[in-house]
Amino acid sequence: MIAVVNCGVGNLGSLVKALARLGLAGELTDDPERIREARRLILPGVGAFGAVADGLHQRGILPVLAEAVAAGTPLLGICLGMHLLFGRSAEDPQSQGLGVLTGRVERLPGGQKVPQMGWNTVRQVRPSPLFSGIPDGAYFYFVHSYYPVPQRAETVLGTTTYGLEFASVVGEGKVFGVQFHPEKSADAGLRLLKNFVELI
Task: Determine the Cα–Cα distance for residues 119 and 168; give it in Å rounded to an integer.
Answer: 13
Question: Could you give the dihedral angle defined by the CA atoms of residues 135, 137, 141 and 146, in that order, rounded to the nearest 10 degrees?
Answer: 130
Cis peptide before 115 (omega within 30 of 0): yes
Q: How far is CA 110 from the centre of its chain?
A: 24
CA-angle at 113, arms to 112 and 114, nearest 5°: 115
Q: Enter the DSSP assignment of 111.
A: S
Strand partners, 2: 26, 40
The answer to whether 30 touches 61, Cβ cutoff 8 Å, is yes
Alpha carbon of residue 41 to chain centroid: 10
| Residues designated catalytic | 79, 181, 183
